[in-house]
Structure 1
Amino acid sequence: MSTRLATGGRLIDRTTRAEFTFNGKRMAGHAGDTLASALLANDQMLVGRSFKYHRPRGIVASGPEEPNALVNLGRADRLEPNQRATTTELFAGLESSSQNHWPSLEFDVGVANNYLSRFLPAGFYYKTFMQPRAAWKHVFEPIIRQSAGLGSAPKEPDADRYEYAYAFCDLLIIGGGIAGLQAALTAGQTGKRVILVEQTAHWGGRAVVDGDVVEDEPAEDWVKSAVDALKTMKNVTLRTRCMGAGVYDHGYVLVNERVADHTPMDGRPKQRVWRIRAGHIITATGAIERPLSFAGNDIPGVMLAGSMRDYVVNFAVSPGDRTVVVTNNDDAYLTAIALVEAGLSVPVILDARADVSGDVPNRARALGIRVEAGRGIASVRGGKRVTGVQVCLQAGEGAVLEEIACDAVAMSGGWSPVVHLWSHCGGKLTWSTHLSAFIPDPNRPPLNHDGAAMVTVVGAAAGVFNAADIIASATSVENTPAIPPVWVMPHGAPIALRSKMWLDYQNDVKVSDVQLAAREGYESVEHTKRYTTLGMATDQGKLSNINGLGVLSQSLGEDIPQVGTTTFRPPYTPVTIGALTGEARGDLFQPLRRTPMHAWHEKNGVYWEPVGHWRRPYCYTRSNETHEQAVHREVNNTRENLGLLDASTLGKIIVKGPDAGRFLDMLYTNMMSNLAIGKCRYGLMCNEQGFLSDDGVVARIDEDTWLCHTTSGGADRIHGWMEDWLQCEWWDWKVYTANVTEQYAQIAVVGPKARKLLEKIGGMDVSKEALPFMQWADGTLGGFNVRVYRISFSGELSYEIAVPASQGAAFWELLHAEGAEFGAMAYGTECLHILRAEKGFIMIGDESDGTVTPLDLGLGWAVSKKKADFLGKRGMERTFLADPDRWQLVGLETLDGSVIPDGAYAVADGLNENGQRNTEGRVTSTYYSPTLKKGIAMGLVKHGPARMGEVVELNKLDGSTVKARIVDAVFFDKAGDKQNV
């Protein structure tokens, strides 16, 4: 049976047929339909089952506020659960199925819960399943877990693709109704960069559906002219199918674009998440119609009046031949008028208001529609679809005055402005007694860092519903007829009726549930929400919250502003995980980062080590060597001849600007602002708690430029940390940072013969006098433009040479070819670690683990005593971190020369609370030193530096012990003669 009207339907193309399936049944709609409108056109009133009681559910709305019509779309690797039929654009071949039932939608055994509803009130799970514990664990928990969820979770990888995009603008406008269009026209004419986004596929919003007149012309004509004018402005960008998902600090907005949901497999990404930074944001997001709470208001065929008007006007779909309209405001009369003008019957309009007058009601009366003031619905009759309504006095207790046969009910309890985006960043609300709704308080907006308003709300989202006021940018709500609060219908309904009035359709929360929560002491709206699950469905309370607040406030004897609201959190509507992931999946989930010398490493026996997203050579094996043998060979060769290390992965961050020195003094524990141009300095970074976070060498490039080296795994983290402080705390400091890690290849030329190799290839003076230790210089070597740093992490004569990344492989090859006569040999990270350990140089992540301070590591010399402040200073001064009993860094040598196992702890006398031996230290790094021919280790030991020569007992993981002597952490060349040669 088709309910498609013979004429009308402004959004559908009747010449294009689109076949689809619902629960395997073949149906047909038209291009321009939504899945919801197509289902209604095929007289499919029953679309799903509620979560708790498995009650029959029909389509109630026409937009993202829809709680009932959630379906599975597609199958196999394109299965999408919990998709709203109301926002799903129809396309040929669409496959859909209903959810939350077994064995079928029409016959669902889960409906037995409905007949047990008196035993399953709000919070029943708290009361019923607490004791006995065994019954909960073994009987109830498996049942609950089996029942959880709505749709079918996909079992195959998503075959579609998604992407991120970035944009910047002076003004972002969210919402493409007449308010958003007018705002864009005004701003666009000033030359501002404007982005206007609209979540549907069409411009104009409700004004077009309602037949408003805008500036003396029909709204549809005005909208077309406005869009055409905006398209001619090069500074304005228009995008439909874009939902404003969330507003964050500093004008940062996430927008979800449904690129090809309606044209699957056309080669485009399915969805795109826009990350937009805007100077200012205007939300023109409209309003959502509220349902009314009367017995049976969830029966399929009971719909929001405005949504029913959408289906009739936009899609030429009749939800019913005879529709009873029930309302407390004038807007619902427009639905009655639209139905009658479409040739459908409206036997009566039941208006809860005692006095009904004005232009719109009189227009309805002129069409012969019966209007009954002071009336409400006592109960809707029907099961899987509406068959009639029982009429009562709104001021009464539900006594039935008459029964009217009908097959649909259009309800309207008023309109709630969409304040979600305004609220995401702290915008405050005020209660409008005129509209019986929360509206944005313009005196308490979300603020930018400079104290200026970050968000402005216009149109219906601000409570302004009159088209003339919207175009004139007026902010008064008084031109809209007053909407009296109607939280329960009828007002004095007995408990038998209240227990059949539904607030949250998906989660089966009733008026009586909220009243029960109030009686049981849940006075906080947040507590009531969790106790009853009100507003926790996939629509996140878009339909239920205001009515729920009204019922709660009445039950508590308080006004709604005193009860408050629940928290609005992004996203505004659900965003699929695929869109949030973007292209970061499969091989792109964590793209491997490769240095310019990666191919050379592959060809020369490399054994890779993961370091963050990088792959670094651990060692290079030859013939039948073990990894250990290869590492020892590399250590010996570097100490005796010449080693080459690919150090390109080390973080390189440019910090530039008039306040750069001041900024670095706050980031590092020691002074960096007084570093001379051309010189280098080792520095430590701590977090706010005073724990060591990263280390590296800083080079002063010019008067206002520094280059900060970080650990390989820390570059992105440290750069993000810098930007966090600059953008959120020190936003007025004139500092620019850039992560240039991958712009340069960096090679360490290390060993006694390092200088000989560089002198051989020639081009610049690298002598001790020309380039002393801890200085840098620009020049050429072997015909390559280079920057040479005289720094050493091995204790050997060492040069770290940076070249443009594009020249890295060629320079590496040159060094190997020309260095052959000096025994040039590549070495990997494990050799580097041993060289460092022999010199007592700490490793971030080994000697530091997020609980260690520079003072614990004997690095007090790198902590300034002159600076008034730096990040971590106050943390390190706390009593616990300044405790002299903290473990401190020392060297450890086993008495028998063996290598201490990783994870070993130094044990002490006595037992702890767990009956285990007390500990007084732990090993942080441990190696066999080919140079010293014995095992060496560093560790943190209680009072360690004061216990030199003392022997401690170390527990291995297997339970055995080994004895080690506490020694100086510098095992090799303590005077530093080799690195200063």
Structure 2
Amino acid sequence: MSGRRANAGGQIDRTRTIRFAFDGKPMTGHAGDTLASALLAGGVSVVGRSFKYHRPRGIFSAGVDEPSALVTVVNGAVREPNVPATAIEILDGLVVESQNRFPSLGFDIGAVNGLFGGLFSAGFYYKTFMGPVVGPLKGTRFWMLCEWFIRRAAGLGRAGHAPDDARYERMNAFCDVLVVGSGPAGLMAARAAAASGKQVMLAEQDPLPGGSARWSGETIDGVPAAEWAERVAGELAAMENVRILPRTTVWGYYDGNVLAALERVSDHRPAEKGEPRHRHWVIRAVRVVLSTGAFERPLVFPGNDRPGVMLAGAAQRYAGAFGVLPGEKIAVFANNDTAYRAAAALHRAGARIAAIVDVRREVSAAALDLARKTGAEHLPGHAVVATSGGNALKDISVQRFDAATGALSGETRRIDADCLAVSGGWSPAIHLASQAGGAPRWDDRLQAFLPPEPLQPWLGAGAFTGAFTTQEALVEGLAAGAAACGQKPSRRKPPQVETDDLDVAPAPVLEIGAKGKAFVDLQHDVTAEDVRLAHREGFVSVEHLKRYTTLGMATDQGKTSNVPGLAIMAQAAGKAVPEVGTTRFRPPFSPVSLGSLAAERHGDLRPERLTPMHDWHAEHGARMLAAGLWFRPQIYGLPGETVEQAYVREAAAVRDSVGIVDVSTLGKIAVQGPDAGEFLDRVYTNMFSTLPVGKARYGLMLREDGLAFDDGTTWRLGEHEFLMTTTTANAGKVMQHLEYLLDIVWPVLRVHLTSVTDQWAGAALAGPKARAVLAACVTGTAVDNETLPFMGIVRGEIDGAPVTICRLSFSGEMAFEVYCGAGHGLQVWEALMDAGRPFGMVPYGLEALGTLRIEKGHVTGSEIDGRTTARDLHLDWMLSKKKPFVGSAMIDREGLTAPERLQLVGVVALDNRAFSNGAHLVDAQQDPADPHGSIGHVTANCFSPALGRYVGLALVKGGKARHGSRAWLSDPLRKRFGPVEIVSHHMFDPEGSRMHG
């Protein structure tokens, strides 16, 4: 290949020179160039190396379908690999590197892989590296020896480790009509929709409107197509109800007509202050018009991967859009008429057309006329059977070919050429429509898959539907725009196109069966023989073919290789292409930057959901910890204290005197209505309809499969009014569960649910002095045992703020939960702290709270882990036998009542050393390097100040029967191995005298 800049033509700004570097070599281009066009203009023939054989690769296409010319963009220490050179707009200071080569692009040691092509055929990983090793290492899998080398060789580009300082944004938008693609069809659709007054968005992945018509040489309404497209786009941009998004790729189509798009805001120029690099759009549209065009397919023949071989449409684009000739002597190889237009365009731009080779014996009169104008040798009924040259094409070999039988005949002759433009027909870009649902439809005339029948409200126009002429595209676009607005097609005459009457239907020939490697997937080095080998080895599904050969798994996602590969497989199977089918088109349509997906959501992404007392906690030494969606105090550390020392001190203070903890984060749901009691009876395992007003009850919920879901207390505040509390982490899940039951399962129940978690602030007082503290600050009610018994509720005031108080305990001590409006939370908290100061009251955090509950044997999410039942947790006393409830039909299944199920127990470390959650328990002492025979695992642990030992809770097989026995703790990852005693989970005050006293 000896590309050069044409003396004239193209749509670049030749007055502006852009300087960039490729593999350290300074190069220049013009404003409007892509990296690919600038490299071609600079005579660069080899741009990268293929994945498997490290064969030299040149520029093959001109858009997002580029399989070969992948580069790494270097911005200081930030590296972005695997970017198609065809998708990079050059700018001053751009630095790019080639990939997958060592030590250099021109001389790559990895090319030696090509000498072992027989070993590296389809499935070589599975057949080679999984086999056993013989000799001294017998018994070792070969993969274990090769893994390090394989992983070093895997991949193409090399990503960097430096943080990306660029800004990214995300946007949400709504429109009546979203038009994807601004070719003639898209422009007409947008204009028709906008004229009806609808809100219209027009997304175009290229910098300028017009699609392939821009460089086609056609005229529309008497003016060049590029000029016409810019005029229409200007009219649309001036309309208030139209938003045009250039450099924007719509990459995903989801349910509900939600589409995802990536806007490249400043990749092509230095970003202004505060401007993002990329902007990610989520667009919700009433109607969508898809005018995404089509991709040209290659022909499969020996030597088709040599640098200098490219798609005919790409060669035409380089000449028409960028004023670049991809070669001095260009040969054309095709099975359809569109390549003749490319040959004529290249001839007009100054290239010599050496030959036009066509597999068809007869071509249209329009194609013959174009061939005559180029002065090229015309060879119908011939095929290219080989190419030659090192890192650049030098000549091609042609031979007579019968398209009907695939037979070659006659002598081979050579034709000098430094560029070969190939065209094997066109495949509509149906990716978005397929993502929206439905199976593509095969069109035998076009030898291509067409869009499926719409399952969502979208319409198609232009080459996307198989209408490959500009005149057809204009007509379809006008009709689609009107239909998207619910209107009849306009009677207005569409713009008229002056063009050649070419036949776009290709001859059904996608492989020339001559000797030599004929590549289907250029990036992954998948050959036609690899496809046939996969079929012979039983991989008859297209999905299996894809994974076994890696066909279509490259960065271009099979945009050029999909149909040729399927056709070869169909031929091997003796089937038609539609019988073989096609793989699924999944998002993204083209690569999307991870930065744009995260956008502003970087760093610590946890929501800062804070209680009303948060600032007080922070001012008084609290170390905050994320709990569910909330930040809660972990400890209130004194200077020099460790976490363990702090929580032991706090927990001991609660046991000895009194402590206070912020419980505002507990889920709180108001359950109201005449059927509220009946509803709670069905939701909980125990009775609530009989609960007196002014009393609370502990409740357990099960899932429908009989496993434990959540626990908490529910307070009866009135005849038809309850306040349900849930665990902090499960508040949202419980609300969803209850709403589902009311909306779907029991819609006749007269119940209303309201999440009031944020409306209530809560503080819990616990300890022997808790009642005294409360009595010192509450007015309007007594808090003695008669007025406020266990699980009783009273209302009063603290410091003038209304409060609701319930006597319940999570710590095993006498305890009270005090709730008030969130706006009074800090006021009430500080009043309680003042009242508790004479009693030595301390605030305590989650660590101490956990310690108190472990000593007492209360369960939380660590034990209610989605695998345990009420019986496993010794809560079967709560399973009512008088009523059905959610999960009651499943609780007696054999698997849920087996005696060897894991059950809740307490464990005490006999060596009095700390241990960790997740550590396993084994029956007897074993080799620490080989622990086995697990009987359960630790769910919670702490140092208990009340017991003076390291203790924990665990789930153990046949747990209750093991009380008093010994086991061994096995935690090899943390190198912890030691003896424990299995005891009752009620390790402290099992009679409950302290909380009932």
Asked if 1 retains the 8 angstrom alpha-carbon contact of 2:319 and 2:345, the reply is yes
C-alpha distance in 2 between matches for 1:240 and 1:562: 39
C-alpha distance in 2 between matches for 1:673 and 1:335: 82
Query: Aligned pair in 2 of structure 1 residues 79, 829: CA closer, same or farther (>3 Å)?
Result: same
Q: How far 1:933 sits from its partner (Å)?
A: 7.6
SS of residue matched to 2:47: strand
C-alpha distance in 2 between matches for 1:814 and 1:85: 68
Q: Which residue of 2 aligns with 1:799?
A: 817
**Equivalent position to 1:431, from 430, 442, 447:** 442
Q: Which residue of 1 aligns with 2:309?
A: 302
Q: How far 1:431 sits from its partner (Å)?
A: 1.2
Is 1:162 aligned with 2:163? no
**Equivalent position to 2:989, from 951, 971, 974:** 971
SS of residue matched to 1:43: coil
More deviation, 317-326/548-557:
317-326
**Equivalent position to 1:144, from 143, 147, 150:** 150
Q: Which residue of 1 aligns with 2:663?
A: 647
Q: Which residue of 2 aligns with 1:268?
A: 275
Q: Which runs of 5+ in 1 are unaligned?
A: 447-452
Is 1:381 aligned with 2:397? no
**Equivalent position to 2:352, from 345, 348, 351:** 345
**Equivalent position to 2:868, from 852, 861, 869:** 852
Residue 953 of structure 1 aligns with an amino acid whose one-letter code is R
Q: How far 1:48 sits from its partner (Å)?
A: 1.3
Q: Which residue of 1 aligns with 2:40?
A: 40
Query: Aligned pair in 2 of structure 1 residues 935, 121: CA closer, same or farther (>3 Å)?
Result: closer
Residue 586 of structure 2 aligns with an amino acid whose one-letter code is R
Is 1:558 aligned with 2:564? no
SS of residue matched to 2:305: coil
Q: Which residue of 2 aligns with 1:882?
A: 897
Instruction: Show the 5 A alignment for 1:407-422.
Output: 407-422=418-433
**Taking every aligned residue pair, what percent have the same amino acid on both sides?**
42
Q: Which residue of 2 aligns with 1:518?
A: 535
Q: Deviations over 1:527-582 (max 9, x none)?
A: 33333322222212111111011111112211112222223332222223333443
Q: Which residue of 1 aligns with 2:588?
A: 571
C-alpha distance in 1 between matches for 2:750 and 2:330: 65
Q: Which residue of 1 aligns with 2:968?
A: 955
C-alpha distance in 1 between matches for 2:192 and 2:503: 28
Query: Aligned pair in 2 of structure 1 residues 977, 118: CA closer, same or farther (>3 Å)?
Result: closer
Instruction: Show the 5 A alignment for 1:340-489.
Output: 340-357=347-364, 359=366, 362-363=369-370, 365=372, 371-395=378-402, 396-397=407-408, 399-400=410-411, 402-424=413-435, 426-442=437-453, 445-446=454-455, 453=456, 456-465=459-468, 466-473=472-479, 481=503, 483-489=505-511
Query: Aligned pair in 2 of structure 1 residues 649, 96: CA closer, same or farther (>3 Å)?
Result: same
Instruction: Show the 5 A alignment for 1:716-727.
Output: none
More deviation, 694-703/603-612:
694-703
Is 1:4 aligned with 2:5? yes
Asked if 1 retains the 8 angstrom alpha-carbon contact of 2:922 and 2:936, the reply is yes
What TM-score do you get using the length of structure 1 for normalisation?
0.83
C-alpha distance in 2 between matches for 1:726 and 1:359: 70
C-alpha distance in 2 between matches for 1:231 and 1:164: 22
Query: Aligned pair in 2 of structure 1 residues 357, 313: CA closer, same or farther (>3 Å)?
Result: same
Q: Which residue of 2 aligns with 1:293?
A: 300
Q: How far 1:319 sits from its partner (Å)?
A: 1.0
SS of residue matched to 1:74: strand
Is 1:334 aligned with 2:341? yes
Q: Which runs of 5+ in 2 are unaligned?
A: 484-500, 971-975
Q: How far 1:401 sits from its partner (Å)?
A: 5.9
SS of residue matched to 1:553: helix
Query: Aligned pair in 2 of structure 1 residues 95, 624: CA closer, same or farther (>3 Å)?
Result: closer
Residue 416 of structure 1 aligns with an amino acid whose one-letter code is S
Asked if 1 retains the 8 angstrom alpha-carbon contact of 2:185 and 2:474, the reply is no
Instruction: Show the 5 A alignment for 1:191-202.
Output: 194-202=200-208
Instruction: Show the 5 A alignment for 1:70-89.
Output: 70-89=70-89
Residue 569 of structure 1 aligns with an amino acid whose one-letter code is R
SS of residue matched to 1:9: coil
Query: Aligned pair in 2 of structure 1 residues 727, 58: CA closer, same or farther (>3 Å)?
Result: farther
SS of residue matched to 1:18: strand
Instruction: Show the 5 A alignment for 1:766-785.
Output: 781-782=798-799
- Cα RMSD (Å) of the superposition? 4.8
SS of residue matched to 1:243: strand
More deviation, 106-115/215-224:
215-224
C-alpha distance in 2 between matches for 1:659 and 1:289: 66
More deviation, 208-217/112-121:
208-217
C-alpha distance in 2 between matches for 1:335 and 1:920: 74
Q: Deviations over 1:954-981 (max 9, x none)?
A: 4344665455554767835648964xx9
Instruction: Show the 5 A alignment for 1:680-759.
Output: 683-684=699-700, 690-697=706-713, 709-714=725-730, 746-751=762-767
Query: Aligned pair in 2 of structure 1 residues 228, 775: CA closer, same or farther (>3 Å)?
Result: farther
Asked if 2 retains the 8 angstrom alpha-carbon contact of 1:893 and 1:937, the reply is yes
Residue 257 of structure 1 aligns with an amino acid whose one-letter code is E
Asked if 1 retains the 8 angstrom alpha-carbon contact of 2:338 and 2:504, the reply is no
Query: Aligned pair in 2 of structure 1 residues 925, 373: CA closer, same or farther (>3 Å)?
Result: closer
Asked if 2 retains the 8 angstrom alpha-carbon contact of 1:839 and 1:973, the reply is no
C-alpha distance in 1 between matches for 2:743 and 2:899: 37
Q: How far 1:357 sits from its partner (Å)?
A: 1.5
C-alpha distance in 2 between matches for 1:677 and 1:233: 64
Q: How far 1:781 sits from its partner (Å)?
A: 4.6
Asked if 1 retains the 8 angstrom alpha-carbon contact of 2:762 and 2:817, the reply is no
Q: Which residue of 2 aligns with 1:27?
A: 27
Residue 467 of structure 2 aligns with an amino acid whose one-letter code is V
SS of residue matched to 2:842: strand
Q: Which residue of 1 aligns with 2:496?
A: none
Residue 420 of structure 1 aligns with an amino acid whose one-letter code is H
Q: How far 1:71 sits from its partner (Å)?
A: 0.8
Question: Alignment length, in residue pairs?
Answer: 955
Asked if 1 retains the 8 angstrom alpha-carbon contact of 2:341 and 2:370, the reply is no
Asked if 2 retains the 8 angstrom alpha-carbon contact of 1:246 and 1:255, the reply is yes
SS of residue matched to 2:77: helix
Residue 895 of structure 2 aligns with an amino acid whose one-letter code is F
Q: How far 1:860 sits from its partner (Å)?
A: 4.0
More deviation, 592-601/330-339:
592-601
Residue 415 of structure 1 aligns with an amino acid whose one-letter code is W
Q: How far 1:755 sits from its partner (Å)?
A: 6.5
Q: Which residue of 2 aligns with 1:449?
A: none
C-alpha distance in 1 between matches for 2:391 and 2:911: 84
Q: Which residue of 2 aligns with 1:259?
A: 265
C-alpha distance in 1 between matches for 2:556 and 2:72: 16
Q: Which residue of 2 aligns with 1:52?
A: 52
Residue 4 of structure 2 aligns with an amino acid whose one-letter code is T
SS of residue matched to 2:28: strand
More deviation, 507-516/64-73:
507-516
Query: Aligned pair in 2 of structure 1 residues 64, 697: CA closer, same or farther (>3 Å)?
Result: farther
More deviation, 641-650/92-101:
641-650
Residue 510 of structure 1 aligns with an amino acid whose one-letter code is T
Q: Which residue of 2 aligns with 1:104?
A: 104
Query: Aligned pair in 2 of structure 1 residues 420, 671: CA closer, same or farther (>3 Å)?
Result: farther
What TM-score do you get using the length of structure 2 for normalisation?
0.82
Is 1:132 aligned with 2:133? yes
More deviation, 33-42/644-653:
644-653
Query: Aligned pair in 2 of structure 1 residues 876, 753: CA closer, same or farther (>3 Å)?
Result: same
Asked if 2 retains the 8 angstrom alpha-carbon contact of 1:37 and 1:86, the reply is yes
C-alpha distance in 2 between matches for 1:434 and 1:674: 76
Asked if 2 retains the 8 angstrom alpha-carbon contact of 1:162 and 1:269, the reply is yes
Asked if 2 retains the 8 angstrom alpha-carbon contact of 1:892 and 1:969, the reply is no
C-alpha distance in 1 between matches for 2:640 and 2:260: 55
